[in-house]
Amino acid sequence: MLTAVKVKTAVVGLIYKKALTLANFSRRRYTTGEMVNLMSADAQQLMELIVNINLLWSAPFQIIMAVIFLWKELGPSVLAGVAVLLLVIPLNALIAAKVKTLQKSQMKYSDQRVKLLNEMLHGIKILKLYAWEPSYQRKVMDIREREVDVLKSSGYLKTYSMLTLTCIPFMVSLATFGVYFYLDKEHVLTAAKVFTSISLFNILRLPLFDLPSVISAVAQTKVSLSRLEDFLFAENLNPEDVDTNYSGKSQLMEWVSSLVAVVGQVGSGKSSFLSALLGEMEKLEGTVHRRGSVAYVAQQAWIQNGSLQENILFGTDLNRSYYELVLESCALLPDLEQLPNGDQTEIGERGVNISGGQKQRVSLARAVYSNADLYLLDDPLSAVDVHVGKHLFEKLIGPSGLLKSKTRVLVTHNLTLLPHADLIIVMEEGKISEMGSYQELISKRAKFVELIQVFSEENRSEKTTPNEGENISFDWRWMWLSVAAYLGQNALAIGQNLWLSTWTAETSKISDFTEWQQSRNYKLGIYGLLGFLQGLLVCCGAYVLTQGSLAASRTLHHQLLDSVLHLPLQHFETNPVGQIINRFTKDLFIVDIRFHYYLRSWLNCTLDVVGTVLVITFSSPLFIVVVIPLGYLYFIIQRYYIASSRQIRRLAGASHSPVISHFMETILGGSTIRAFGHQERFIRKIMMWLSVRLEFLGNLMVFFAALFVVLAGNTVSSSTVGLSISYALNSLNFWVRKACEIETNAVSIERVCEYANMDKEEPWITSKRPPVGWPDRGIIEFVNYKAQYRKDLGLALNDISFQTRNKEKVGIVGRTGAGKSTLTNCLFRVLEGSGGKIVIDGIDISTIGLHDLRGNLNIIPQDPILFSGTLQSNLDPLGKHSDHELWEALELCDLKSFVQSLPKKLLHEISEGGENLSVGQKQLVCLAPTASVDMETDNLVQSTIKREFYNCTILTIAHRLHTVMDSERVLVLDAGRILEYDTPHNLLQRKGAFSKMVAEAGITR
């Protein structure tokens, strides 16, 4: 066991190391779901084989020894039994080969399922806001059904293995006794010969029982090893693509201590340019020279699950004075005052509990604190408010900022910053079209001038406009049918032994064997018939158990998926996704593959023990005097062992979740980790975690297993009541082992089921349904509305009351933490109110189902999230629109020409997370007018919104105040309260909070 745990630890460590060095084209081959499956299911498969690897030699050894002793009893006739064995083994080998093929298919579907689940869980906010949960739930279930079909085929093959396995002792004994009689007519069966032979045949059962399972496990492990090998030998990033020790001078680019701005339209190659400098791109030709340490701020901020301070320090020591300077420069000090525990506040996975602007500034602070020589900044000002962006440029990035002595390569769409840049690079279609200072490029009057002209127009905004899970219950008929089949099988097995017992009893009473020889064929035939019927029942029992266990597995998966999708969004913001993924991988793997094997073993063994005890008690009633106290002692030992083993299994399951969470977090932030050169630190962290915790748990398992064996061994040796009692106790010992296995593995079922008991969000559909066409006027009214994220926190919205007019355009502004996003969350009931109400067109939204609400509102979120699949499925997940309507939508977003240039057009495959599109293209697909698209694209989106949504009520949450200047009214929030609500003109005349914000942004009207 300890060796197995160490091997698993090493394999998990290798997968983790490999994930940090995968080349980009290799990364596209392996989705996050596939890599998680390698770390959980495949590593687990390897560990379980190593635990039982000794059976590969010990089982054949036991078989050979049993055959040798049978030779001594029955002579050459035992060769007939050996022939049966030799005949069955190749058949089982063929089955194992077929099972291996099916295993590959099953793992392929499992990878697809986990990949989709991973994307769903990371994009759960989008699914909930758009009420897409049922659509994606069906997608997962479709993959799951195909996976279960493969498991079913594999189960049927294993049913045949069980048939041959259970019937082998009978077939061997039948063939041996038959040939024994045939070789010499004078041969008779005495009690000594029969029951010694039967005991030896029974000794054959355990190795024959385990051997096919181990062979099958070897076949499955071979598939896992093949998958691991393919992954571990995938192409790595080539560190020689970038010359990091360059000491010469380049005639083209000498950027030391300069601010280099990179500009261009969406998809022009700006982010790819930075990736090339980092060595993240596949180099085809040319050279990249770089000198000094690097700090990188990705366009989509990568935040670790940890405290805010830990995210900024990023593994380095705390220098308090410099740390405070960084916080001030990155405009984080006001945020620390609002966070519950300041810089010690725990940030959730992917920064789910802080705003987009805060995530970007934390990412920027991490880069600044590293005090690197070269800063690669991929549009870090996109997600922050105007006054914050101005602060960041003046205090940090600009000519007089904290980084003024450093080399800064800044990708930006804010062209007002360009006059302050020392060098400007203009990207177009993946090439540098122009390069020079601001004045040089203006004088050329080329592509750069076009960008400047486009930028003279207005800025951007974020816009908001305003099936119940099926319960499946397990069919217990499968269980009762299984029990009935196995009862019948064991009754027939006992019947066989009783028949032989009666036969040998007759032999001892007669003096003339002529009559006995005449009835020999008849009695042998009855013995064979009983064995044949036993085989049929074994086959039926295995079939029913396979069907029943897969039905239960299907039910558990469906209920788990349904329960997870019904969890409130706050659960995902406060719990790592790895905890859920672990249920869908490792725990479900045990439910699918392992548990019914343990259940079958335990059921067989239980009935064997009961049968053995009954038979021996019937023949020797005094046996009950011994078996009752010994049985009670076994029961006591079993209770202690199971309680300990089960708890260790729970700890092992819980310990695996953080590993998966950390692994997925590392994959998402791979570019950032490599840019900072922190690969070794992350590898040391995961290896220390694995070695200390997992190997400690392995030691505990070994200790308790050894303790149990010692205690059980003492019990067995205390028995001196003969061969039959020792056989019964061996059966009891085996039964306790199987009972422990089934109870400890039942922890996986417990972990899968625990989500069913968690608090769920409100029902998706209720008996009260809004009328068709609701909302038709778009009048939104907040009445004394209050909301808080947790009971122990203050109010995020406090006594909010306002009303929109029919089809009015309202802008919502406020500094970071004012409550803008919370207002949106409450409108969609992502956050339920703690007082007051929200009324839309006369209906209190708290009285209708969530999907009736969310399905009739619409939101264009700030963060663009795409799911793997076709472009068509991303545009229309519910399949409600025709191709013509989709093409019209693409034309409105200026994506029609781009999509028409793709080979498969609407059926173009989107990779995981939309990685084969630029961020700007993803935002256009999502129609998300955030600050990460260029000005020309933003103007297009803004005009599209005004034209296409003219008859809608629009709430616009603005990062840039230019957008809301054209709104009919503006709502100003601060600390969860309404400060002002009026037309932009009237608010400017008042000289209040809004007027002050406009002045800070430098807007003149």
User: Band of the pLDDT at 927, cuts 50, 70, 90?
Assistant: low
808 burial type by CB count under 10 A (0-12 exposed, 13-18 middle, 19+ buried): middle
User: Band of the pLDDT at 161, cuts 50, 70, 90?
Assistant: confident
Supply 320's token pair: 């308090």
What is the pLDDT, as a whole number, of residue 365?
92
What is the total residue count of the chain?
A: 1005
What is the pLDDT, as a whole number, of residue 993?
84
Ramachandran category for residue 689: left, alpha or beta (phi over 0 → left; psi -120 to 50 → alpha): alpha
> Could you say which of 3.50.40.10, 3.30.2130.10, 3.40.50.150, 3.40.50.300 is the CATH number of the domain covering 268-458?
3.40.50.300
- How many CB atoms lie under 10 A from the CB of residue 240? 9
Smallest CA-to-CA distance from 375 within 264, 294, 472 is with 294
What is the pLDDT, as a whole number, of residue 463?
34
Query: Bigger pLDDT: 631 or 760?
Result: 760
Over residues 427-431, mean pLDDT: 84
Supply 968's token pair: 């009919």
Over residues 104-131, mean pLDDT: 85
User: Band of the pLDDT at 656, cuts 50, 70, 90?
Assistant: low
- How many CB atoms lie under 10 A from the CB of residue 471? 10
Separation in Å, CA 88 to CA 172, 176, 485, 964? 11, 15, 23, 79
Is 13 a residue whose pLDDT tops 60?
yes
Is 459 a residue whose pLDDT tops 70?
no
SS (H, E, C) 604-656: HHHHHHHHHHHHHHHHCCCHHHHHHHHHHHHHHHHHHHHHHHHHHHHHHHHHH
Q: Are 918 and 939 in contact (CB under 8 A)?
A: no
Smallest CA-to-CA distance from 738 within 653, 651, 645 is with 645
User: Band of the pLDDT at 715, cuts 50, 70, 90?
Assistant: very low
**C-alpha span between 814 and 392 (Å, rounded):** 18
Is 349 a residue whose pLDDT tops 70?
no
**C-alpha span between 89 and 866 (Å, rounded):** 51
What is the pLDDT, as a whole number, of residue 195?
64
Over residues 908-917, mean pLDDT: 71
Which residue type does 427 have?
A: M
Residue 28 bridge partners (DSSP): none
Residue span(s) of the chain under CATH 3.40.50.300 come to 268-458, 767-848+934-1005
Separation in Å, CA 328 to CA 325, 353, 362? 5, 21, 12
What is the pLDDT, as a whole number, of residue 469?
37
pLDDT in tens, 18-49: 888 888 777 777 877 778 888 877 887 888 78
Is 695 a residue whose pLDDT tops 70?
no
What is the pLDDT, as a whole number, of residue 444?
74
**C-alpha span between 202 and 790 (Å, rounded):** 63
What is the pLDDT, as a whole number, of residue 445?
66
Smallest CA-to-CA distance from 347 within 289, 381, 286, 301 is with 301
Which residue type does 996 have?
A: K
Over residues 885-899, mean pLDDT: 78
Residue 424, helix vs strand vs coil: strand
Greatest mean pLDDT among 630-639, 698-707, 709-718, 945-954: 945-954
User: Band of the pLDDT at 325, cuts 50, 70, 90?
Assistant: very high
DSSP 659: H
Q: What is the DSSP string of 245-285?
A: B--S--SS---TT-EEEEE-STTSSHHHHHHHHHT-SPP-S
CB crowding 541-571: b at 16 or more within 10 Å, else e: bbbbbbbbbbbbbbebbbbbbbbbbbbbbbb
SS (H, E, C) 105-138: HHHHHHHHHHHHHHHHHHCHHHHHHCCCHHHHHH
Smallest CA-to-CA distance from 483 within 548, 532, 552 is with 548
Q: Are 799 and 825 in contact (CB under 8 A)?
A: no
Is 577 a residue whose pLDDT tops 70?
yes
Over residues 161-165, mean pLDDT: 71
What is the pLDDT, as a whole number, of residue 359?
84
Block residue for tokens 């690897």 = 53
Greatest mean pLDDT among 522-526, 687-691, 766-770: 766-770
CA atoms within 13 A on the CB side of 251: 0
Is 304 a residue whose pLDDT tops 70?
yes
What is the pLDDT, as a whole number, of residue 951?
77
If you average pLDDT over every residue of the chain, what do you get? Answer: 76
Smallest CA-to-CA distance from 608 within 213, 165, 205 is with 205
Is 303 a residue whose pLDDT tops 70?
yes
User: Band of the pLDDT at 512, cuts 50, 70, 90?
Assistant: low
User: Band of the pLDDT at 727, cuts 50, 70, 90?
Assistant: very low
**Taking the mean position of all CA atoms in its chain, how far away is CA 799?**
40
Over residues 7-12, mean pLDDT: 83
What is the pLDDT, as a whole number, of residue 689?
58
Over residues 249-275, mean pLDDT: 77
Over residues 159-186, mean pLDDT: 74
**Taking the mean position of all CA atoms in its chain, how far away is CA 701?**
26
Query: Bigger pLDDT: 703 or 141?
Result: 141
What is the pLDDT, as a whole number, of residue 111?
83
What is the pLDDT, as a whole number, of residue 863?
66
User: Band of the pLDDT at 207, cuts 50, 70, 90?
Assistant: confident
User: Band of the pLDDT at 866, cuts 50, 70, 90?
Assistant: confident
Q: Are 286 and 241 in contact (CB under 8 A)?
A: no
Is 466 a residue whose pLDDT tops 50?
no
CB crowding 723-747: b at 16 or more within 10 Å, else e: ebbeebbbbbbbbbbbbbbbbbbbb
> 969-974 and 809-813: which strand pairing?
parallel
Which residues touch 794 (CB under 8 Å, ≥6 apart)?
788
CA atoms within 13 A on the CB side of 766: 13
Ramachandran category for residue 128: left, alpha or beta (phi over 0 → left; psi -120 to 50 → alpha): alpha
Is 972 a residue whose pLDDT tops 80?
yes
What is the pLDDT, as a whole number, of residue 930?
39
Which residue type does 508 have?
A: S
In CATH, what number does 767-848+934-1005 get?
3.40.50.300
User: Hey, what CATH class is 2-234+474-667+683-757 in?
Assistant: mainly alpha
Supply 94's token pair: 């063929």
**Taking the mean position of all CA atoms in its chain, how far away is CA 468?**
23
Cα angle 19, 23, 28 (rounded to 5 degrees) comes to: 80
What is the pLDDT, as a whole number, of residue 721?
32
What is the pLDDT, as a whole number, of residue 409?
92
**C-alpha span between 957 and 461 (Å, rounded):** 6
Block residue for tokens 């808080």 = 788
**C-alpha span between 851 and 457 (Å, rounded):** 38
**Taking the mean position of all CA atoms in its chain, how far away is CA 922?**
23
Is 747 a residue whose pLDDT tops 80?
no
What is the pLDDT, as a whole number, of residue 729?
43
User: Band of the pLDDT at 752, cuts 50, 70, 90?
Assistant: confident
Separation in Å, CA 191 to CA 507, 869, 969? 9, 70, 102
What is the pLDDT, as a whole number, of residue 376?
92
Smallest CA-to-CA distance from 827 within 805, 844, 810, 807 is with 844
Query: Bigger pLDDT: 866 or 800?
Result: 800
**C-alpha span between 746 and 950 (Å, rounded):** 58
Is 378 a residue whose pLDDT tops 60?
yes
DSSP 855: T
**C-alpha span between 585 and 45 (Å, rounded):** 12
Q: Are 811 and 956 in contact (CB under 8 A)?
A: yes
Over residues 367-372, mean pLDDT: 90
CB crowding 754-785: b at 16 or more within 10 Å, else e: ebeeeebbeebeeeeebeeebbeebbbbbeeb
> 954-957 and 969-974: which strand pairing?
unpaired
Query: Bigger pLDDT: 30 or 330?
Result: 330
**Taking the mean position of all CA atoms in its chain, how far away is CA 417?**
42
Over residues 59-81, mean pLDDT: 83
**C-alpha span between 121 and 140 (Å, rounded):** 12
Smallest CA-to-CA distance from 57 within 211, 221, 213, 219 is with 211
Smallest CA-to-CA distance from 686 within 5, 2, 10, 6 is with 10
What is the pLDDT, as a whole number, of residue 65?
87
